């Protein structure tokens, strides 16, 4: 699977994309994007579990109820969250603006088939004059038929340092099916889900119900197992459109084809999830937490989440400090029924580089060679922790990032 | 209630205290302390809920099973946690050393009546030669009969910048009952409980069972409602000794006397809890989160905990940024059943200084005067947030502190 800046969401057949600058951001950086399909698509989405969902999430859920969509319109800079009924009206108006502008260039789509999405500061209302200007610019670009995936990826960024995109492909029968995706997310990243927006496209022929099933499964093990700062955003959205133009036999029920598709979609989501954590606000390192030997996945998830969210673990990773006491005690307060006598911790990416530092409840005394290996493992850009609970067979993998002075700078100064 | 550096744990009748430097800390700072009662006391303690309790917690629970204790011996620098059976043996040996040294100066106490406690780095074994030297020094000081409360408070510090102590008194019948306490805690502070040690003394005459009841109640609303970094330490301990020398009628059952005593003990604990948060690692401000209008205290606790632990709220407080979106969305992901339409947020300490920024789901547009008040409220050393859930009658108060670059410096560089 390639990380591509030249092709992602328009690699699958039947999609166009554009990005632009409408002036929401004071910085003058790109702040709008659109993805348009040639025809109505099977569509599915997973939204934030925050009890204060943003207005676009409320509107988007409504528009996706029939499992069908043709366009996604996104702005960055203002999240349109905690904005009451006025905010919902603005999100719906944005969809109508897209329909109107497209009609002006001879493209007819239902405003119900537009999914709105916003990210940025919470509280302010959308400046609808700027949004109108942005939609007009976007549609002009689309009409020229471009595949400006990179522009779209830039248009959805907030505190992201890099645009995020990926693509993948697989064979279903004798047909090649393509998948692409763009993502943003850097702060307010926490499971269920990250503060992030992810927009995926595919030319697979698949029913809305099966698409939803595949998306849920892929999201559960990717975007729901990452955390930058445990603050679950009210804007989180992962949406997918499937154009059906690959010509494969339509996937309408569980089975081999759905499994193959879900597997590839999961890889794509894992790729984007990794990019999001790597670009976590102020992050200099990614750490991989594998929890094994749990009774249930749920138990393993609790332990992994406690470790990736612990500020003490995050600062230890930042300082390349093999302060393993912080990791095992995070497991200890996770709420999982840890048994100290069966708990072990290994640091480093597999043998022979890895070092077991805590073995069934007892600290290992390390040789000089092991100390050197441990030191080297902690200095990598990717740091690996494996916690074996010694209680069962279940396991999970999570991603976290370190906590740096830069995170403080970004977040003590952001907004107002 | 006075914060006193000259008298705390020895203000109640029947107690002595000392602190010393035995050399555990590379810095050469004080690292041991002892509290000794003239006679065996009624005793109670509340310990960490971390499933990897430190060795002193395991030993301390054993020694307190009979509700009786006469001394507490504490070291800082090494936590004696995650140290296996050897660690437990070392904790028990430390108690025996206290008994032996005291016998040498003609004071006879049971080693079962000594409660051990440790705080510091997780993993290493206690250096028992240094511990032995420290116990010997402490007992020499005690034999001279000093009331070195300030030395004891310093001997239990780790990353604390200031020693923490407080005292209080009340009347039970015609007798004056005194209470005193010292505390440490700066990092690894999270509810259930903070990473902290708190040692309380009183000359109240009270049964062990009633003492335990009072301590549990006081701890529940003080130390269990503060968070510096959500990392629940395996060493957390709040212990109290009651000498009975005030001469009041012994409190042996619930009733007015127990209520009066519990109320004063709670004030003392709140005072120490505030000192701990104020000295949170890198903290420059304390923020007070009041959650009102909840269906249950449990619901209110979930909301308050999500707010005080959110890195985005903590950095906003650090930057004096009234970024209220971060506060209401933290409530939104807390797990409590928030209804956006009944949720309100007020910033500032009561009228007329306070400003309602979010009113039943809708952002308030603020006048210039309100904006100024809001700005002023965010610049205080103590910042106040009141979240009204609009669902019921229950409410709670929590304390948190801001997240600064200094927290990163302290924790990326601490240990190994």
**Which CATH number characterizes residue B369's domain?**
3.10.20.340
Are A312 and B407 within 8 A, CB to CB?
no
Do A192 and A332 lie in a common domain? no
Which pLDDT belongs to residue B198? 95
In a domain, B232, yes or no: yes
Q: Hey, which of A26-30, A67-71, A75-79, A149-153 has the most confident mean pLDDT?
A: A67-71
**8 A C-beta contact, residue B346 and residue B378:** no
Reported confidence tier of residue B376, pLDDT bands at 50, 70, 90: very high
Cα of A361 to nearest chain B Cα, Å: 6
Is the residue at B82 inside a domain?
Answer: yes
Domain shared by B247 and B372, yes or no = no
**Does residue A41 fall inside a structural domain?**
yes
Rounded average pLDDT over B224-247: 84
The token duo for A235 is 């804007």
User: CB neighbours (10 Å) of residue A337?
Assistant: 12
In whole angstroms, give the CA distance from residue A385 to residue A346. 6
Helix (H, G, I), strand (E, B) or coil at B318: helix
- Looking at A258, A278, A298, which one is the last position of a domain? A278
Q: What is the reported pLDDT for A2?
A: 41
d(CA B260, CA B210): 12
What CATH number should be reported for the domain holding residue B158? 3.60.70.12
Task: Return the structure tokens found at B332.
Answer: 């939104």
Contact A168, A264 (CB under 8 A): yes
Sheet holding B394-401, edge to edge: B226-227, B394-401, B286-294, B382-388, B344-347, B355-359, B362-363
CB pairs under 8 A between A and B: 201
Q: Average pLDDT in the B323-349 region? A: 91
Domain stop point among A257, A278, A299? A278
CB of B197 within 8 A of CB of B183?
yes
* Pairing relationship of beta strands B226-227 and B394-401 according to DSSP bridges: parallel
Mean pLDDT, residues B354-360:
94
Specify the higher pLDDT residue, A127 or B406. A127
pLDDT at A193: 38
Does A230 sit within 8 Å of B415, measured CB to CB? no
Tell me the shortest Cα–Cα distance from B170 to chain A, in angstroms: 37
Residue B192 counted as domain residue: yes
**CA distances (Å), origin B25, targets B28, B93, B129, B415:** 6, 20, 14, 11
Q: Given this model, what pLDDT does residue A188 score? A: 60
338-377 in chain B: CB under 8 A from chain A:
338-340, 343, 358, 361-363
* Cα–Cα distance for residue pair A127/A24, rounded to 1 Å: 7
Are B309 and A230 within 8 A, CB to CB?
A: yes
Q: Does the distance separating the beta carbons of A316 and B412 come in below 8 Å? A: yes
Are the beta carbons of A82 and B121 separated by less than 8 Å? Answer: no
Residue B183 sits at φ, ψ, to 5 deg, of -150, 155
Q: Which of A265, A364, A240 is nearest to A1 (CA)?
A: A265
Give the pLDDT score at B4: 43
Nearest-CA neighbor of B192 among B47, B78, B4? B47
What are the chain B neighbours of A287 within 8 Å (beta carbons)?
none
Residue B329: what pLDDT?
Answer: 87
A269 shares its domain with A307: no
Nearest CA distance, B268 vs chain A (angstrom): 27
Compute CA distances B48 → A333, B85, B390, whole Å.
Answer: 9, 19, 33
Report the length, in residues, of chain B: 416
Three-class secondary structure of residue B292 per DSSP = strand
pLDDT digits (tens, 9 = 90+) for A102-143: 999 999 999 999 999 999 888 889 999 999 999 999 999 999
Specify burial of residue B395 (Cβ count, 10 A radius: 0-12, 13-18, 19+).
middle
DSSP state, B206? B
Q: Please give, rounded to a whole number of angstroms, the shortest distance from the CA of A234 to a CA of chain B.
A: 7
Query: Which residue reads 């200007």 in tokens?
Result: A133
Indicate if the pLDDT at residue B193 is higher than 50.
no
Which residues, at least 6 apart from A244, have a Cβ–Cβ distance to it below 8 Å? A14, A39, A41, A42, A203, A204, A205, A206, A250
B93 and B121 share one domain: yes
pLDDT at B280: 83
CB contact under 8 A, A315 and B408: yes
Contact call for A408 and B403, based on CB within 8 A: yes
Q: Which residues of B touch A336 (CB under 8 A)?
A: 51
Q: How close are the terminal C-alpha atoms of chain A, in Å?
A: 40
With CB atoms and an 8 Å threshold, state whether A230 touches B50: no
A230 phi, psi to nearest 5 deg: 60, 5
**Is A117 in the same domain as A223?**
yes
What pLDDT is attached to residue A49? Answer: 80
**Distance from C-alpha of B371 to C-alpha of B376, rounded to nearest angstrom:** 9
Q: Answer whether A309 touches B (CB < 8 Å).
A: yes
Dist CA A111 CA A96 (whole Å): 5
What HEC string does B256-271 produce?
HHHHHHHHHHHHHHHH
Q: Is A27 exposed, middle or buried (0-12, 13-18, 19+ CB in 10 A)?
A: exposed
Tell me: do A121 and A165 sit in the same domain.
Answer: yes
Tell me how many degrees the CA angle A407-A413-A414 measures, rounded to the nearest 5. Answer: 85
Is B292 among the residues known to form the active site?
no
Chain A CA closest to residue B233: A329
Distance CA A412, CA B240 (A): 40
Beta strands in B137-248 (DSSP E): 164-172, 175-184, 197-202, 226-227, 237-242
pTM over 0.95: no
Residues A16, A21, A25, CA angle at the centre, nearest 5°?
Answer: 135
Question: Closest-CA residue in chain A for B229?
Answer: A311
Q: Is A306 in the same domain as A187? A: no
Mean pLDDT of A225-252: 86
A298 in contact with B, Cβ within 8 Å: no
Are B126 and B94 spatial neighbours (Cβ–Cβ below 8 Å)?
Answer: yes
Give the largest CA-CA distance in chain B. Answer: 73
The closest alpha carbon to A266, from A217, A227, A304, A224, belongs to: A217
- B399's CB contacts (< 8 A; 6+ apart) are B225, B226, B227, B273, B274, B277, B286, B287, B288, B289, B308
Backbone angles phi, psi at A210, to 5 degrees: -70, -35
Smallest Cα distance from B294 to chain A, Å: 15
Q: Return the residue in B377, B412, B414 with the most chain A beta carbons within 10 A, the one to mutate for interface testing.
A: B412
Kindly report the average pLDDT of chain A as a whole number. 91
Residue B192: pLDDT above 50? Answer: no
Choose the closest CB to B325 out of A122, A321, A324.
Answer: A122
Question: Are A261 and A138 found together in one domain?
Answer: yes
In chain A, the percentage of residues whose pLDDT exceeds 70 is 94
Alpha carbon separation from B280 to A194, B46, B78, B189, B312 (Å, rounded): 28, 21, 19, 8, 17
Q: Please state, in angstroms and rounded to a whole number, the distance separating the CA atoms of residues B298 and B309.
A: 16
Average pLDDT of chain B?
Answer: 91
pLDDT of residue B414 exceeding 60 = no
The DSSP bridge pattern shows strands B286-294 and B394-401 to be antiparallel
Give the pLDDT score at B109.
97
Out of A385-394, B41-50, B86-95, least confident range = B41-50
pLDDT score of A1: 42
Window 61-80 of A: residues touching B by CB (8 A cutoff) are 79
Q: A313 and A253 in one domain?
A: no
Sign of CA dihedral A334, A339, A345, A349: negative
Q: What is the pLDDT of residues B48-105, one digit of tens each?
A: 888 888 999 999 999 999 999 999 999 999 999 889 899 999 999 999 999 999 999 9
Say yes or no for a CB contact (<8 Å) between A343 and B319: no
On the question of pLDDT at B191 being above 80, the answer is no
Q: What are phi and psi of A87, to 5 degrees?
A: -65, -40
Q: For A211-238, how does the pLDDT look when each residue is reduced to its tens digit (9 = 90+)?
A: 999 999 999 999 988 876 666 666 789 9
Query: So what's the pLDDT on residue B189?
Result: 53
Closest among A333, A317, A356 to B235, alpha carbons compared: A333
- Are the C-beta atoms of residues B294 and B300 closer than 8 Å to each other? yes
CA distance B51 to A335: 8
B176 touches A: beta carbon within 8 Å: no
Query: Which chain A residues touch B52 with a CB distance below 8 Å?
Result: 328-329, 331-332, 338, 340, 343
User: Are A325 and B404 within 8 A, CB to CB?
Assistant: no
The mean pLDDT of A299-305, rounded to a whole number, is 94
Check residue B95 and report its DSSP letter.
Answer: H
Has residue B183 got a pLDDT over 70?
A: yes
CB contact under 8 A, B332 and A52: yes
How many domains, chain B?
Answer: 2
Pairing of strands A382-388, A286-294: parallel
**B1 in a structural domain:** no
Note which residues in 316-335 of chain B have CB less than 8 A from chain A.
316, 318-319, 321-326, 328-333
CB A346 within 8 A of CB A386: yes
Shared domain for A101 and A220, answered yes or no, is yes
Catalytic, out of B195, B202, B232, B386: B195
Task: Please report which confidence band the pLDDT of residue B194 belongs to, taking 50, 70 and 90 as the band edges.
Answer: very low
Contacts of residue A322 in chain B, CB cutoff 8 Å? 416
Q: Are B150 and B163 in contact (CB under 8 A)?
A: yes
**B51 at interface of A, judged by CB pairs closer than 8 A:** yes
* Mean per-residue pLDDT, A377-394: 96
State residue A3's pLDDT score.
43
Contact A186, A401 (CB under 8 A): no
Residue B344: CA atoms inside 13 Å, Cβ hemisphere, count?
A: 13
Instruction: Provide long-range contacts, Cβ within 8 A and 24+ apart, for A352-357.
Output: A353/A377, A354/A384, A354/A386, A357/A322, A357/A324
Max Cα-Cα span within chain A:
73
Q: Which two tokens stand for residue A59?
A: 């509107």
Residues of chain A found within 8 Å of residue B413, distances taken between Cβ atoms:
319, 321
| Contact call for A363 and B82, based on CB within 8 A | yes
Task: For residues A149 and A142, give the distance between their C-alpha atoms in angstroms, rounded to a whole number.
Answer: 11
Average pLDDT over residues B12-29: 95
The 10s digit of each residue's pLDDT in A160-205 is 889 999 999 999 999 999 999 999 987 665 444 345 899 999 999 9
User: Which of A214, A248, A278 is the C-terminal boundary of a domain?
Assistant: A278
Q: Which of A52, A325, A337 sits opposite B338 (nearest CB)?
A: A52
Closest residue of A to B85, CA-based? A362
pLDDT grade for A413, boundaries at 50, 70 and 90? low
Cβ–Cβ of A51/B337 closer than 8 Å? yes
Tell me the residue range of the domain where A320 lies: 286-413
- Is there a domain that residue A6 lies in? no
Per-residue pLDDT tens digits for B362-375: 889 899 999 999 99
Q: Which of B229, B309, B312 sits opposite A188 (nearest CB)?
A: B312
Please give the C-alpha separations between residue A241 and each of B206, B256, B270, in angstroms, as whole numbers. 70, 68, 55
Q: For A275-296, what is each residue's pLDDT tens digit?
A: 998 988 888 999 999 999 999 9
What is the structure's pLDDT at B188?
Answer: 59
Residue B264: inside a domain, yes or no?
yes
Tell me if A9 is assigned to some domain: no
In this structure, the answer to whether residues B269 and B400 fall within a common structural domain is: no
Residue A102, min C-alpha distance to chain B (Å): 33
φ and ψ at residue A310, rounded to 5 degrees: -70, 120
Predicted local distance difference test score (pLDDT) of residue B213: 97
Please give the pLDDT value at position A231: 62
Question: Is residue B197 within 8 Å of B189, Cβ to Cβ?
Answer: no
Q: Provide the pLDDT for residue A194.
A: 41
Residue A4 has pLDDT above 60, yes or no: no
Of the residues B283, B332, B391, the best mutation for testing chain A's interface (the one with the most A CB atoms within 10 Å of its CB) is B332
When pLDDT is averaged across residues B344-349 and rounded to a whole number, the result is 96
The distance from CA B47 to its chain's CA centroid, rounded to whole angstroms, is 11
Asked whether residue A273 falls in the same domain as residue A297, the answer is no
- pLDDT at position A138 is 97
Beta bridge partners of A198: A183, A238
Most B CBs within 10 Å: which of A227, A315, A375, as the mutation test of the B interface?
A315
Cα angle: B148, vertex B154, B159; to 5 degrees: 170
């Amino acid at each position: 699977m390639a990380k591509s800046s030249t092709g992602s969401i328009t690699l699958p057949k039947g999609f166009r994309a554009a990005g632009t600058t409408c002036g929401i951001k004071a910085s003058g950086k790109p702040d709008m994007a659109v993805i348009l399909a040639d025809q109505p698509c099977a569509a599915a989405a997973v939204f934030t579990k925050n009890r204060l969902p943003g207005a676009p999430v409320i509107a988007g859920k409504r528009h996706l109820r029939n499992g069908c969509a043709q366009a996604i319109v996104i702005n960055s800079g203002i999240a349109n969250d905690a904005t009451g009924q006025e905010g919902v009206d603005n999100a719906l108006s944005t969809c109508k603006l897209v329909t109107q502008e497209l009609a002006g260039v001879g493209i007819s789509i239902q405003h119900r088939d537009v999914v709105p999405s916003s990210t940025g500061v919470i509280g302010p209302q959308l400046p609808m004059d700027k949004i109108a200007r942005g939609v007009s610019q976007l549609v002009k670009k689309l009409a020229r038929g471009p595949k400006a995936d990179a522009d779209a990826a830039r248009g959805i960024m907030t505190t992201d340092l890099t645009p995020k995109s990926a693509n993948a492909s697989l064979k279903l029968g004798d047909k090649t099916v393509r998948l692409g995706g763009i993502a943003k997310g850097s702060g307010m990243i926490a499971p269920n889900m990250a503060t992030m927006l992810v927009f995926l496209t595919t030319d697979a022929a698949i029913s809305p119900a099966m698409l939803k099933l595949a998306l849920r499964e892929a999201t559960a093990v990717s975007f729901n197992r990452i955390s930058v700062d445990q603050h679950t955003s009210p804007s989180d959205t992962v949406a997918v459109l499937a154009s059906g133009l690959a010509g494969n036999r339509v996937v309408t029920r569980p089975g081999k084809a759905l499994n193959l598709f879900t597997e590839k979609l999961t890889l794509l989501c894992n790729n984007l999830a990794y990019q999001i954590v790597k670009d976590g606000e102020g992050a200099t390192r990614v750490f991989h937490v594998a929890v094994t030997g749990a009774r249930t996945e749920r138990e393993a998830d609790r332990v992994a989440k406690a470790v990736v969210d612990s500020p003490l673990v995050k600062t230890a990773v930042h300082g390349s400090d093999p302060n393993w006491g912080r990791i095992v005690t995070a497991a200890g307060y996770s709420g999982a029924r840890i048994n100290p006598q069966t708990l072990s911790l290994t640091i480093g990416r597999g043998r022979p580089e890895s070092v077991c530092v805590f073995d069934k409840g007892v600290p290992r005394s390390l040789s000089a060679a092991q100390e050197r290996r441990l030191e080297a493992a902690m200095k990598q850009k990717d740091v690996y922790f494996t916690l074996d609970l010694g209680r069962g067979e279940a396991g999970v993998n999570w991603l976290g990032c370190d906590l740096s002075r830069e995170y403080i700078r970004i977040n003590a100064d952001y907004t107002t």
